[in-house]
Structure 1
């Protein structure tokens, strides 16, 4: 059995992903929320699938809200497809970057999605989030308040990576439970059923990615971590990771599989204000 690699998650410097401290560190490094490792994908990519789903609900009169827009790159996909797209995020550095690339039909605002939304009732035809906050949990009214009757809600969430990655690099990556995908399906089934939205679609699907180099295996693991921890991980792991990568990579790179959940719901046609 292969000896486990160094586990950076057990080090006191480790910052839990998606926390405020983690986002602040990502923003400090680059001002953007974008994966820094190099890789190639088999098509269609998850973002392409999601963009096509969103686009199917858009026309020249549609008003759209991107919740957790990051630095706005994905938001800009829809700039010329609809009347207005507004992106919100709680991290000021992301919004600063986004506003540097805004167009006439896009706006970007610093907004905490857990609080009061700075929008009138029934403002948006489409609300979506790509790995960001979901405004339609049980007991939350703000999403329903600002969504028009019959409006569409979409969410895309990254649900983990494997495809052999975790078996090849034990310690550095933790194995997923045997029933992992079934549990993910149940979780998003419940989330959609509790959202007071008419269910249109729920998919758990795979995206195939090829990491380009051994360093990218480590960069993926340490995304959002401080340089002090990255140096420790490189010192502890790089040589073994290089050996493993050389034995198992393909001409495209090291094949991994990303799991994603896609949710689509619709507001009641007869709703009025909050639900």
Structure 2
């Protein structure tokens, strides 16, 4: 068992990922929600699978809503594949990046998805989110209000990374419990069943990724954190991470496994 590494999550400057503060820090630095580490993937990637699932429901007369669109790169994938595609996000800097080079069939708006949406009833044929807010939790009406009866709802959520990463770098990462995948599937089964949607599909995908350099282990861990904390983590961890990385890397890089949950439902 390797020696415990420095745990950045215990540092007072650590920002819990996916919080408003975390997104604000990331947006202020780059204006984009985009992974900065170097890696390669075995195909198909989870996001490619998700994009194909969405595309299967698109036609010329379909209107689409991307909830939590970030800087809009994924949203623009569907330009000219539907009548209209709209992306919404609460972060103004993400949206400022998104509206650069926007095509005629894609528009972006700063919108708080936790409040009433600025769209009429029955506005969209397809509503999806990629790691963003899920508008169909029990007791939340806005998703059901803006989607047409029979409309399609899709969600893709990153459920963590393992594949040895959490055992190879203890302290920096923490191992999953043995029941992790079963617990994750049960969580999303419950979320889908409580959404008052007709279930079409629920899948947990394993995505194989190869980190290119020892630094990418730290970049992945510190994604969205402040530069001051990143410097501390590099000083405390890089040497030991390099030793472990070189011991276990493959010709393609250090293999890890990302887990993603895909949900598809139909509005009643």
After superposition, residues 5-44 of structure 1 pair within 5 angstroms as 5-44=5-44
After superposition, residues 1-275 of structure 1 pair within 5 angstroms as 1-268=1-268
Offset at residue 101 of structure 1 (A): 2.4
Give ranges in structure 2 of 5+ residues lacking alignment. Answer: none
Q: Secondary structure at the match of 2:128?
A: strand
TM-score when scaled to structure 1?
0.97
Offset at residue 102 of structure 1 (A): 1.1
Give 4+ residue runs of structure 1 displaced > 3 Å after superposition. Answer: none
Offset at residue 80 of structure 1 (A): 1.6
Residue deviations 1:209-257 (CA, integer Å, cap 9, x gap)? 0001000000000000001100000000000000000000011100000
The separation in 1 between residues aligned to 2:2 and 2:209, in whole angstroms, is 24
The separation in 2 between residues aligned to 1:232 and 1:267, in whole angstroms, is 48
The separation in 2 between residues aligned to 1:46 and 1:2, in whole angstroms, is 31
Residue deviations 1:143-196 (CA, integer Å, cap 9, x gap)? 000000100000000000000000000000011111000000000000000000
The separation in 2 between residues aligned to 1:264 and 1:175, in whole angstroms, is 29
Q: Secondary structure at the match of 1:108?
A: strand
Give ranges in structure 1 of 5+ residues lacking alignment. Answer: 269-275
Offset at residue 205 of structure 1 (A): 1.1
Q: Secondary structure at the match of 1:37?
A: coil
Residue 271 of structure 1 is matched in structure 2 by: none
Offset at residue 100 of structure 1 (A): 0.8
The separation in 1 between residues aligned to 2:237 and 2:80, in whole angstroms, is 46
Offset at residue 198 of structure 1 (A): 0.1
The separation in 1 between residues aligned to 2:227 and 2:267, in whole angstroms, is 45
How many residue pairs match? The answer is 268
Q: Secondary structure at the match of 2:229?
A: helix
The separation in 2 between residues aligned to 1:214 and 1:80, in whole angstroms, is 40
Q: Secondary structure at the match of 1:176?
A: coil
Offset at residue 3 of structure 1 (A): 1.2
